Amino acid sequence: MKSISKSRFVSGVQCSKKIYFEYFRKDLKLPVSEATQQIFDLGHTVGALAQKSFPNGEDATPTDFSDFSILLSKRKNGLQKKRKQSTKQHLQQKTLW
C-alpha cells in the first residue's frame, strides 16, 4: 500500500483523477518545460552558493518529503548543540579578561 502525503491528499480532494494519475500513470505526465527546468537549475545554483558561503553548515534537505518530523527534530537538536557551544565559547572569552 502506498502512503499519501497531506499535499497529495488535498490534491486528490480537489481533483480525484489527479491523484490516480500521480500514483498509477506517471508515464502520462508531461515533460518539464525549458522555462521550468531553468527555474529548477537556478534553485540548484543558489543551493550550491549557499553551501560554499557556509562550509560548516548542515544540509537540511529532508530524506523523506512526506515526513518532516525527523528533519525538525534533527534541526532542533543541532541548534541546541550550537547554542551550547557558543555559550561555552562566550564564557571562556569572559574568563580570559
Could you read off the pLDDT of 5-55 as tens digits, one per residue? 788 888 888 888 888 888 889 899 889 999 999 999 999 999 899 889 988
> What's residue 87's pLDDT?
76
> What's residue 40's pLDDT?
94
SS3 content of the chain, % helix, strand, coil (to 5): 70, 0, 30
- pLDDT level of residue 56 (50, 70, 90 thresholds): confident
CA pair distance 30, 35, nearest whole angstrom? 14
